[in-house]
Amino acid sequence: MTNPHLALLHERLATLNASTLEIEDESHLHAGHAGNQGGASHFRATIVADCFSNQTMIAQHRLVYDLLRDLIPYPIHALALKTRAPSKGNP
């Protein structure tokens, strides 16, 4: 069964015009965890985007979290990020 919050994440993060946008649903790993109660989801994302050029990792993560502000802590309980500009190699 596909997590309905996955499509929402893809939709929101599409505004970054990322060359790579990979999102893994890790909610099943947190079954029984307090943050998983009520259907809250856990995700891991790898994002490579030009908009991250000349920004620190903290600034890159802030940009992502600003797009998702109204979704955290519910329905998105946790989001682990790997971000980078295309010119910077692997995250």
pLDDT of residue 40: 73
pLDDT at 23 over 80: yes
Give the mean model confidence (pLDDT) for residues 14-26: 95
Q: Which domain holds residue 11?
A: 4-88
Contacts of 31 (CB under 8 A, 6+ apart): none
Specify the number of domains making up the chain. 1
Where residue 40 sits, what CATH number does that domain have?
A: 3.30.300.90
pLDDT of residue 91: 54
Q: CA Rg, the chain, in Å?
A: 13
Buried b / exposed e over 27-52, threshold 16 CB at 10 Å, is beebeeeeebeeebbbbebbbbbeeb
pLDDT of residue 74: 87
Mean pLDDT over all residues of the chain? 87
pLDDT of residue 18: 97
Nearest residue to 28 via CA among 45, 47, 44, 11:
44
- Cα–Cα distance measured from residue 53 to residue 24, given in angstroms and rounded to the nearest whole number: 24
